[in-house]
Chain A
Amino acid sequence: MIFDWRYRCAPIDQVFMAGGSSISGGMTLGGFTFEMPESGGRSMLLMNFATFADDATNLDASWTASRIMNGTVFRIRLYNTVQLVPSLILGSNGVGPLWSNDQPWANGEPWAYDPTAPVAVNALAGAAAFTVDLAEYGPVLKIGHVIGFTVGDHDGAHMVLDIAYDGDVATVTVEPPLRRSLTTDSRMKFRPKMLAKCVNPSEVATNFTSGRHMTFGGATFVEAMI
């Protein structure tokens, strides 16, 4: 089962890492022990939380506590940290569109802000690089940014490790490698989501203190490769 992460259960910090695993490589003549990154290792998402204040968020947290213990895969929309390309640079105020009748959703929220750019060349799953056409924004993507793709039901987030611009067309090397094949109909997302599973559920779902406030412990999410 894949559930959407309750966006209200917002962390106070979040970091996306594409560390993966490494293999001990050996020792140089100088005595430096080096390691080699494992091909295509899983990405990781760390989050810390403050106490949840309002009732609705606490109810979401209550539900999340059960689901998280169940080994559920969560579809987590990455929160807006400096790892994402800022909306100002993308020429927007970072607020998503309203419905066509200028109304928000029932909870007062507009649609999620979801800027994208078209993929320029087909890329196969497993590849470590893809090409994206950034003509709409200019060369905004930099090393260290996190971008992502949604292909069918699959959401993947990727760390930009290297980037080469040819005009506004960028060849981007990412880690982890692409999990799904991309076509020129695919679009690269500046507000990526990732599918992830919590690997320390019992540490996360800890304190439902008397009264009504829940605090989550620090959560470690590891990419779920489905």
Chain B
Amino acid sequence: MTFSGNLLAALDGGGDISLRIYRLYHYDFDGVPVRLWAGQGRLFVGGQEWLGTVDERGTDRHQAQTVQTPRDGTSPRYTFGLPYIDKATYNALKADKSLAMGRAMTSWYCLVLDGEGLRPSTPLRFAYRLTIQEVEFGDARQGDPANSQRAYSASVLMRTDEVGRSREPRGTYTDTSQRERARLMGVASDSFCGMVARNSRRTITIEN
């Protein structure tokens, strides 16, 4: 059963609707992948184990930003906080940042139906993918000297995969490159991407 199929079946089932949808995050660091989900405990789905980032006080330790649409060729930059990663992963990443550079972070949707516990059967649904540009590390002490904690954390700076897309000679977005590409492929079009730049700068006011 597909994600949509299961979701629609659960919504159309009549009676009580009991389902949860969670976000999953897969940081594909080379050799030390980190899999997180926005919940509590270990989630078993897609043949993998995902670590819950909600702590015992109900705080989500994973600072995941809202990812926006990358239209207009702009490529927003996102910083995701990965606090309290384990020391082995932290050390591996810090020793060799190339394990992280250029690697993908993929976010998925996960549907958990009633009675499935932490082992949902619905396949995951792709949400978005970002490319890791840089990792910054934190190693902080907090609290009083008599009662302090040490926390290893990492922030991951990411862009969407549309990075620099408008500047690629054979890219898909700028008007110039579209015209050039169409010429090479022998395709005719009317306006190409001429309207894109105009639309991106346009302010639309709607009068009531």
A residues apposed to B, CB below 8 Å? 20-21, 23, 36, 38-42, 69-71, 124-129, 173, 176-179, 197, 199, 222-225
Contacts and interface: CB of A to CB of B under 8 A. Distances in A.
Contacts of B18: 36
29 contacts: A20-B40, A21-B40, A36-B18, A38-B40, A39-B39, A39-B43, A39-B112, A39-B116, A39-B117, A40-B40, A40-B43, A41-B40, A42-B41, A42-B56, A69-B147, A125-B42, A125-B119, A126-B42, A126-B119, A127-B117, A127-B119, A128-B115, A128-B117, A128-B118, A129-B117, A177-B117, A178-B117, A199-B56, A224-B56
A222 B56 contact: yes
Contact of B57 (A38, A125, A199, A223): A199
B149 A71 contact: yes
Interface residues of B, number: 24
A128 B56 CA distance: 20
B159 to A, nearest CB: 31
A134 B30 CA distance: 48
B54 interface: yes
A133 to B, nearest CB: 21
A41 B38 CA distance: 12
Contacts of A225: 40-42, 52
**Residue in B52, B56, B57, B119 with the greatest tally of chain A CB atoms within 10 Å:** B56
A12 B117 CA distance: 33
B57 to A, nearest CB: 6
Given A39-B117, A177-B118, A125 B44 contact: yes
A179 B51 CA distance: 12
Interface string B33-65: 000000111111000000010101110000000
B22 interface: yes
A126 B40 contact: no
Residue with the highest number of chain B CB atoms closer than 10 Å, among A125, A126, A173: A126
Contacts of A126: 42-44, 117-119
B20 interface: yes
Contacts of A178: 117
Nearest to A176: B41
A38 B20 contact: yes
Interface string B55-84: 011100000000000000000000000000
B54 A40 contact: no
A38 B20 CA distance: 7
Given A23-B20, A225-B40, A225-B41, A39 B56 contact: no
A174 B119 CA distance: 14
Given A41-B40, A126-B42, A225-B52, 12 more contacts: A21-B40, A39-B118, A39-B120, A40-B41, A125-B42, A126-B44, A127-B119, A128-B117, A129-B117, A177-B118, A177-B119, A225-B40
A175 B10 CA distance: 21
A42 B40 contact: yes
Interface in B94-151: 112, 115-120, 147, 149
Contact of A40 (B56, B58, B118, B147): B118
Given A126-B118, A128-B117, A177-B118, A21 B43 contact: no
Contacts of A179: 41-42
Contacts of A71: 149
Which residue of A129, A173, A197, A225 has the most chain B CB atoms within 10 A of its CB atom? A225
B13 to A, nearest CB: 15
User: Which residue among B18, B20, B117 has the maximum number of chain A CB atoms within 10 Å of its CB?
Assistant: B117
Contacts of A125: 42, 44, 118-119
